[in-house]
């Protein structure tokens, strides 16, 4: 098969790493990719939101399957675009169509779906600038902290949690009337705060059947002890120790199965990866959010634990026969630590030379924001490299990643030294 992966982060490098191990692979392309993917296939410098450019690429390289890494092309309808084009419709797309992608593209759509299908989630109401007063009234009924979510995609920044009712009202006003997050906040979901510990579950579904992938926990804040600004993710571990068999059974019965049945009932024909952002409150799971793709950096720990050939799985997916495939996981723990540019998630510099990657022997180095510059590898983003290791337990895996990091240098390199700090080791 000729495969095209869309995206340029650690998630896409990890998918490329796994797929490049497959006997079913003929040619691998990544658009736009990074210095890591360039070692495994051919990077194509196209704008993945320019569907005409994507079409030319698909035809030029006789692509059989497109794997869509990030959410934006899905929410913009790349799957529909390919499915509706007579020259392209034979191509398998891994990722949902526009309607299904609304599960991530609209918080309100996701909440309506959750309530309609009786899936545990926080109580909520949604508001526009016309219903601002009702928004204030709803906030007054809730107890603090207050959770406000811009309805649309806001690059992970659209959720604001505030302790003070007056600040919450001011924030709601700013989001709705001043469009603080642009069009994304012309509608705002206000919801009850859930107090618990978060984790993520992942499935791949062909629209009929699904397979569960390993679960993971990521660390989003820039600072030690989960403090400071939100980032794309500073590290992750898989599996999650507190997700024991009885909790995972609840997740399957109360969340995953009702979601899968709901997708079918609502004729969303959802095909692709589905990411369940969960919170464990007491012993009960609740859905915080859906994402219609794999997580980053969660992919850097879940895909390395997948023993089964990924293209065999995706071939079964293409034929809507995921029920015929047996999948096998590595029972070891995988942990990843993200190396980031100084200043991130605020302003940071790019173009710093990275050295020492070749000296890492016992971990896998996944590139996130890197590019080639002649013979050098240079930084090209806030999140730069994800260092993944296996171990018998979180501590062993993390220790290995931290040891491997000792080899790597770039100016103003930063990372969190406490990934997994809140988990039993
Ligand atoms: P989201 O983009 O919906 O995942 O929200 C971003 C983050 O906000 C989540 O990862 C949680 O840490 C937090 N969050 C969102 N909704 C809630 C909620 N209802 N209760 C507590 N925390 C929440
Ligand atoms: N790590 C969270 C995400 O990919 O959305």
Q: Which atom of ligand 1 is nearest to the CA of 193?
A: 20
- Looking at the fold, whether 88 and 137 belong to one and the same domain comes out as no
- Distance between Cα 295 and ligand 2 center (Å): 4
Which residues form the domain of 37? 2-97
Boundary of a domain, candidates 168, 191, 214 = 191
Q: Is 278 in the pocket of ligand 1 (CB under 6 A)?
A: no
Alpha helices (runs of H) in 26-144, residue ranges in sequence order: 51-60, 72-75, 78-83, 98-105, 107-116, 132-141
Instruction: Output the six-digit token pair for 260.
Output: 């899968």
- Looking at the fold, whether 88 and 129 belong to one and the same domain comes out as no
Tokens 């704008």 — which residue? 47
Strand residue runs (E) in 234-283: 235-238, 272-281
Atom 2 of ligand 2, nearest CA residue:
295
Provide the pairing of β-strand 2-7 with 27-32: parallel
Q: Which atom of ligand 1 is nearest to the CA of 107?
A: 3
CA distances (Å), 310 to each of 21, 60, 323, in order?
A: 9, 24, 15
User: What distance in Å separates the CA atoms of residue 63 and residue 80, rounded to the nearest whole number?
Assistant: 17
Q: Does residue 385 form part of some domain?
A: no
Ligand nearest to the CA of 230: 1
Boundary of a domain, candidates 191, 214, 245 = 191
Contact 201, 195 (CB under 8 A): no
Contact 248, 238 (CB under 8 A): no
Which helix (H) or strand (E) is 176 found in, with range? helix 165-177
- Looking at the fold, whether 130 and 93 belong to one and the same domain comes out as no
Contact 147, 134 (CB under 8 A): no
Q: Which atom of ligand 1 is nearest to the CA of 286?
A: 19
CA distances (Å), 376 to each of 177, 355, 379, in order?
A: 48, 8, 10
Total residues belonging to the chain? 425
- Distance between Cα 298 and ligand 2 center (Å): 7
Instruction: Output the six-digit token pair for 216.
Output: 């993971």
Q: For a pocket test of ligand 2, which of 201, 217, 218 has the largest count of ligand atoms closer than 8 A to its C-beta?
A: 218
CA distances (Å), 6 to each of 11, 157, 352, in order?
A: 10, 22, 25
User: Residue 302: which of 10, 45, 5, 93 has the closest Cα?
Assistant: 10
Q: Kindly compute the dihedral angle of the four CA atoms of residues 352, 16, 65, 293, in this order, to the nearest 10 degrees.
A: -80
Q: Does residue 387 form part of some domain?
A: no
- Count of C-beta atoms within a 10 Å radius of residue 196: 15
Mapped onto helix, strand or coil, the DSSP state of residue 223 is: strand
Q: What is the total count of domains within the chain?
A: 2
Mapped onto helix, strand or coil, the DSSP state of residue 191 is: strand
Question: How many CA atoms lie less than 13 Å away from 107 in the CB half-sphere?
Answer: 29
- Looking at the fold, whether 168 and 89 belong to one and the same domain comes out as no
Backbone torsion region of residue 85, taken as left when φ is above 0, otherwise alpha when ψ lies between -120 and 50, otherwise beta: beta
Q: For a pocket test of ligand 2, which of 274, 291, 336 has the largest count of ligand atoms closer than 8 A to its C-beta?
A: 291
CATH number, domain with residue 158: 3.30.1490.20
- Looking at the fold, whether 27 and 89 belong to one and the same domain comes out as yes
Give the orientation angle of helix 107-116 with respect to helix 98-105, to 10 degrees: 100
Q: Is 298 in the pocket of ligand 2 (CB under 6 A)?
A: yes
- Looking at the fold, whether 88 and 26 belong to one and the same domain comes out as yes
What is the pLDDT, as a whole number, of residue 178?
81
- Looking at the fold, whether 128 and 46 belong to one and the same domain comes out as no
Ligand nearest to the CA of 386: 2
Q: Does residue 201 form part of some domain?
A: no
Beta bridge partners of residue 188, listed in sequence order:
127, 150
- Distance between Cα 351 and ligand 2 center (Å): 25
- Looking at the fold, whether 78 and 130 belong to one and the same domain comes out as no
Residue 381 phi/psi, 5° resolution? -175, 180
Q: What is the CA radius of gyration of the chain?
A: 21
Distance of CA 101 to the CA centre of its chain: 13
Q: Does residue 25 form part of some domain?
A: yes
> What pTM did the predictor assign?
0.96
Contact 297, 235 (CB under 8 A): yes
Q: Which atom of ligand 1 is nearest to the CA of 277?
A: 4
Q: Is 291 in the pocket of ligand 2 (CB under 6 A)?
A: yes
Tokens 């039993």 — which residue? 424
Contacts of 290 (CB under 8 A, 6+ apart): 103, 104, 110, 259, 274, 275, 276, 277
Q: Is 159 in the pocket of ligand 1 (CB under 6 A)?
A: yes
Ligand nearest to the CA of 277: 1
Q: Is 102 in the pocket of ligand 2 (CB under 6 A)?
A: no
- Looking at the fold, whether 25 and 83 belong to one and the same domain comes out as yes
Contact 11, 386 (CB under 8 A): no
- Looking at the fold, whether 158 and 87 belong to one and the same domain comes out as no
Order across the sheet with 2-7: list the strands. Answer: 42-43, 27-32, 2-7, 65-68, 92-94
Q: What is the pLDDT along the chain (425 residues), one digit of tens a residue?
A: 999 999 999 999 999 999 999 999 999 999 999 999 999 999 999 999 999 999 999 999 999 999 999 999 999 999 999 999 999 999 999 999 999 999 999 999 999 999 999 999 999 999 998 999 999 999 999 999 999 999 999 877 788 999 999 999 999 998 888 888 878 878 999 999 999 999 999 999 999 999 999 999 999 999 999 999 889 899 999 999 999 999 999 999 999 999 999 999 999 999 999 999 999 999 999 999 999 999 999 999 999 999 999 999 999 999 999 999 999 999 999 999 999 999 999 999 999 999 999 999 999 999 999 999 999 999 999 999 999 999 999 999 999 999 999 999 999 999 999 999 988 65
Q: Does residue 71 form part of some domain?
A: yes
- Looking at the fold, whether 40 and 92 belong to one and the same domain comes out as yes
Backbone torsion region of residue 335, taken as left when φ is above 0, otherwise alpha when ψ lies between -120 and 50, otherwise beta: beta
Q: Does residue 39 form part of some domain?
A: yes
Q: Which atom of ligand 1 is nearest to the CA of 191?
A: 19
Q: Which atom of ligand 1 is nearest to the CA of 195?
A: 21
Q: Does residue 342 form part of some domain?
A: no
- Looking at the fold, whether 84 and 16 belong to one and the same domain comes out as yes
Q: Does residue 245 form part of some domain?
A: no
Boundary of a domain, candidates 166, 191, 216 = 191
CATH number, domain with residue 59: 3.40.50.20
């Amino acid at each position: 098969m000729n495969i095209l992966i869309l995206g340029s982060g650690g998630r896409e490098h990890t998918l490329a790493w796994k797929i490049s191990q497959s006997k079913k692979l003929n040619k691998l392309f990544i658009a736009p990719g990074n210095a890591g993917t360039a070692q495994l296939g051919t990077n194509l410098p196209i704008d993945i939101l320019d569907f005409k450019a994507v079409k030319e690429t698909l035809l030029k390289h006789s692509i059989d399957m497109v794997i869509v890494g990030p959410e934006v092309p899905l929410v913009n309808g790349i799957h529909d675009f390919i499915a509706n084009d007579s020259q392209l419709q034979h191509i398998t797309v891994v990722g949902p169509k526009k309607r299904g992608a609304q599960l991530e593209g609209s918080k309100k759509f996701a909440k309506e779906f959750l309530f309609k299908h009786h899936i545990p989630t926080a109580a909520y109401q949604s508001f526009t600038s016309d219903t601002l007063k009702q928004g204030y009234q709803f906030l007054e009924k809730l107890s603090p902290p207050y959770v406000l979510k811009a309805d649309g995609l806001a690059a992970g920044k659209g959720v604001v949690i505030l302790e003070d009712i007056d600040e919450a009202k001011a924030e709601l006003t700013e989001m709705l009337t001043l469009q603080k997050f642009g069009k994304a906040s012309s509608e705002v979901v206000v919801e009850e705060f859930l107090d618990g510990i978060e984790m993520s579950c992942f499935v791949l579904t062909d629209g009929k059947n699904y397979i569960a992938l390993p679960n993971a926990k990521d660390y989003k804040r820039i600072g030690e002890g989960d403090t400071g600004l939100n980032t794309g993710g500073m590290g992750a571990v898989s599996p999650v120790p507190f997700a024991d068999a009885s909790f995972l059974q609840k997740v399957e019965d109360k969340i995953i199965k009702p979601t899968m049945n709901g997708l079918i009932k609502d004729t969303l024909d959802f095909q692709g990866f589905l990411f369940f952002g969960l919170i464990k409150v007491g012993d009960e799971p609740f859905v915080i959010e859906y994402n219609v793709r794999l997580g980053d950096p969660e992919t850097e720990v879940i895909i390395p634990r997948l023993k089964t050939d990924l293209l065999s799985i995706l071939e079964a997916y293409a034929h809507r026969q995921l029920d015929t495939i047996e999948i096998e996981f590595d029972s070891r723990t995988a942990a990843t630590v993200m190396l980031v540019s100084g200043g991130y998630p605020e302003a940071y510099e790019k173009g710093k030379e990275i050295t020492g990657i070749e000296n890492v022997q016992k971990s896998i180095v996944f590139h996130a924001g890197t590019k080639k510059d002649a013979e050098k590898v240079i930084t090209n983003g806030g999140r730069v490299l994800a260092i993944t290791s296996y171990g018998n337990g979180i501590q062993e895996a993390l220790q290995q990643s931290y040891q491997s990091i000792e080899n790597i240098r770039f100016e103003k390199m930063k990372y969190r030294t406490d990934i997994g700090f809140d988990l039993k080791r």
